Structure 1
Amino acid sequence: MIKVASYNIRKGVGTDRIRSPDRILHVLHEIDADIIALQEADRRFGRRAAILPPHHLADHSPWKAVPFGNEQSSGWHGNVLLVRKEAEILDCEAIHLPTLEPRGAVMADLRVNGIAVRVVGMHLDLSGLMRRRQAESILAHLDSAARRLPTVMMGDLNEWTRRSGCLKDFAERFTIAATGPSFHARRPVGRLDRIMASPELRIADCGVHHSPASRTASDHLPIWARVEPS
Structure 2
Amino acid sequence: MSVTVASYNIHKAVGNDLRFDPGRILDVIDEIGADIAVLQEADRRFGARQATLPAALLAERGWQVAPLAERSASIGWHGNAILVSDRVTLERAARLPLPALEPRGAVLADVRVDGHLLRLVGAHLDLSGLWRTRQINAIVDAIARQPAAPPVLVMGDMNEWRLRSPGLASLASAYPPVPLAASFPSRMPIGQLDRVFASRSLTIEEAGVHRSALARRASDHLPVWVRLGAVPGLATDG
Q: TM-score, normalised by structure 1?
A: 0.96
* 2:26 aligned counterpart, secondary structure: helix
Where in structure 2 are the equivalents of 1:167-182 lying within 5 Å? 167-182=168-183
2:33 matched residue in structure 1: 32
Where in structure 2 are the equivalents of 1:77-226 lying within 5 Å? 77-226=78-227
1:62 matched residue in structure 2: 62
Deviation, 1:69, is: 4.2
2:235 matched residue in structure 1: none
* 2:180 aligned counterpart, secondary structure: coil
2:236 matched residue in structure 1: none
Instruction: Say if 2:118 and 2:150, in contact at 8 Å, map to a contact too.
Output: yes
Instruction: Say if 1:37 and 1:154, in contact at 8 Å, map to a contact too.
Output: yes
Cα distance in 1 for residues equivalent to 2:164 and 2:205: 21
Q: Does 1:6 align with 2:7?
A: yes
Cα distance in 1 for residues equivalent to 2:36 and 2:107: 13
Cα distance in 2 for residues equivalent to 1:179 and 1:227: 15
Instruction: Say if 1:36 and 1:82, in contact at 8 Å, map to a contact too.
Output: yes
Deviation, 1:52, is: 0.9
Considering only aligned residues, what root-mean-square deviation do their CA atoms show, in Å?
1.2
Q: Which runs of 5+ in 2 are unaligned?
A: 233-238
Equivalent pairs, count: 229
Instruction: Say if 2:35 and 2:87, in contact at 8 Å, map to a contact too.
Output: no
Cα distance in 2 for residues equivalent to 1:166 and 1:183: 20
What amino acid sits opposite 2:156 in the alignment? G
What amino acid sits opposite 2:25 in the alignment? I
Deviation, 1:19, is: 1.2
Instruction: Say if 1:159 and 1:165, in contact at 8 Å, map to a contact too.
Output: no
Deviation, 1:167, is: 1.6
1:52 matched residue in structure 2: 53
Deviation, 1:162, is: 3.0
Instruction: Say if 2:98 and 2:138, in contact at 8 Å, map to a contact too.
Output: yes
* 2:140 aligned counterpart, secondary structure: helix
Cα distance in 1 for residues equivalent to 2:167 and 2:37: 22
Q: What does the per-residue CA deviation read over 1:162-183, in whole Å, with 9 as the maximum and x for residues that have no partner?
A: 3223220111011211121000
2:17 matched residue in structure 1: 16
Q: What does the per-residue CA deviation read over 1:130-171, in whole Å, with 9 as the maximum and x for residues that have no partner?
A: 001000000100111121111111000000113223220111
**Normalized per residue, which structure has more strand?**
1
Percent identity between the two aligned chains: 48
Cα distance in 1 for residues equivalent to 2:187 and 2:50: 27
* 1:28 aligned counterpart, secondary structure: helix
Cα distance in 1 for residues equivalent to 2:69 and 2:49: 13
